[in-house]
Amino acid sequence: MTRSPPLLARYAEGLFWMARYLERVENLARLVDVTQTFESPGREAESWLALIRINADEEGFAKRGWDTSADAVKTFYLRDGGNPTGVPASLEAARTNARNLRPLISTEMWMHINVFHRDMLAIDETELQGDRLSRLCGRIKQAVQAHTGITEGTFYRDQGWCFYQLGRLIERADQITRLLDIRYHLLVPAEGEERRVAELAQWGGVLRGAAGYHAFRRVAPAGFTPNDVVRFLLKDTAFPRSLATCVEGIDTQLTQLRSHYGLRGTGLALENVENLRAGIIGRPIEGIVANGLHHFLDTVQRDLINLAGEIGTAFFRDWRPFADASKQQSQTQSQSQTSGAPTT
């Protein structure tokens, strides 16, 4: 067992959420960029409403009282601070967590998040149109990647690192399923050869959205099929953003918390990870697609929500999604923290 300074539960929670929020910002930029790529003349609103659906934001978007235009959806995700799933609110939440983590994170991490936050507050409406939107998405992705590089180079490798990685990997796994789900919602209406060419072009867009196009081309057959793309994004453990790679990384971090740091509250989470792995590795892609890709992705998203809940219940002070749980659940959480959580 590795000896390390005690980690307060609030710091473990803050690191988990800071990583999730920043990963969410990057992946939202990827989803927006891919959605713009998939726009079809005369079907722009349909394309952008698919983004609302896969993020389950129908209710939040309706409350804004806007029309269902492409511009409204772009504003909702990139400029609307009142949207809790959008870039401004996610980045504000990451910055708030970073402020509370000042005793742990490096000065370079803190300074970069502040600069990034200030830059995103200055986004104006003109940046949501055409090529400027693609450049804006690129700038957002690069800023998060810069944060990742700074963190890799400056953050101390203790329990806190494990919780940071868990947040980042769970969010990344969730978002790769949503990126694939966009493709499900936006089937091209053409037929025959025209449909096949259009589909391959759209799958190429998905790969670029996942930063995996060039990696895929290294291993893909010359006449690749949609199933090849789905297999790569779900199962290829040599690709760092694949679902399988994320699940393996989650397993590694939970195992390290258990074996190196003696945190015994990882049992349920590790069981969930094993079930996730079996569902991904143990099922052929042809069967997943034939039985409904959307259904499979929806199931994975629910499993990831449960996994995050198990980690939060075991290790954090107050797992927010379960804040209204029964008294018995609250007692169970308290017992889990006592027996297996970081120091509170």
> DSSP per residue over 90-150, as a string?
HHHHHHHHHHHTTTTS-HHHHHHHHHHHHHHHT--GGGGSHHHHHHHHHHHHHHHHHHHHH
Q: Domain of residue 294: give its range.
A: 9-340
Residue 3 lies in a domain: no
Neighbours of 48 (CB within 10 A): 23
> Rounded distance, CA 28 to CA 21, Å?
10
Q: What is the dihedral of CA 114, 117, 118, 119, to 10 degrees?
A: 120
Of 135, 171, 133, 161, whose CA–CA distance to 20 is shortest?
171
Residue 241 lies in a domain: yes
How far apart, in whole angstroms, are the C-alpha atoms of residue 44 and residue 318? Answer: 41
CA distances from 189 to 37, 38, 185, 247 (A): 16, 12, 12, 34
Distance from C-alpha of 27 to C-alpha of 107, rounded to nearest angstrom: 25
Tell me, yes or no, whether 2 lies in a domain: no
Q: Is residue 285 part of a domain?
A: yes
Give, to the nearest 10 degrees, the angle between helix 130-154 and helix 107-121. 170
For residue 74, which of 110, 128, 118, 22 has the smallest C-alpha distance? Answer: 128
Q: How far apart are CA 228 and CA 110, in angstroms?
A: 40
- Show pLDDT as tens, one digit a residue, over the chain (344 residues): 556 678 999 999 999 999 999 999 999 999 899 888 777 666 677 778 888 988 889 999 999 998 889 999 999 999 999 999 999 999 999 999 999 999 999 999 999 999 999 999 999 999 999 899 999 999 999 999 999 999 999 999 999 999 999 999 999 999 999 888 876 655 444 455 555 666 677 788 888 889 999 999 999 887 788 889 999 999 999 999 999 999 999 999 999 999 999 998 999 999 999 999 999 988 999 999 888 899 999 999 999 999 999 999 999 987 665 444 433 343 333 333 333 444 43
Look at residue 336 in the predicted model and tell me its pLDDT: 35
Residue 140 to residue 119: CA distance in whole angstroms: 9
Tell me the three-class secondary structure of 45-72, residue by residue. HHHHHHHHHHCCCHHHHHHCCCCCCHHH
How far apart, in Å, are the Cα atoms of 132 and each of 35, 228, 237? 14, 32, 34
State residue 201's pLDDT score.
75
- The per-residue pLDDT for 333 is 35
Question: Would you state the pLDDT for residue 334?
Answer: 36
Q: What pLDDT was estimated at residue 42?
A: 64
CB within 8 Å of 315: residues ≥ 6 apart: 9, 12, 13, 163, 263, 265, 336, 337, 340, 341, 342
Torsion of CA 98, 99, 101, 106, to 10 degrees: 70
CB 47 within 8 A of CB 68: no
Structural domains in the chain (count)? 1
Tell me how far apart the alpha carbons of residues 203 and 190 are, in angstroms, rounded to a whole number. Answer: 15
Q: What is the pLDDT of residue 186?
A: 56
Answer yes or no: is 159 within a domain. Answer: yes
CA distance 26 to 35: 14
- Give this prediction's pTM: 0.88
Which residues fall within 8 angstroms of residue 25, CB to CB, at 6 or more apart? 87, 90, 91, 94, 140, 144
Residue 4 domain-assigned (yes or no): no
Run of H or E including 9: helix 9-37
In a domain, 88, yes or no: yes
Nearest-CA neighbor of 32 among 164, 151, 139? Answer: 139
- 19: closest CA among 179, 175, 166? 166
- Name, in order, each residue with C-beta under 8 angstroms of 311's C-beta and a sequence gap of 6 or more: 16, 166, 170, 254, 269
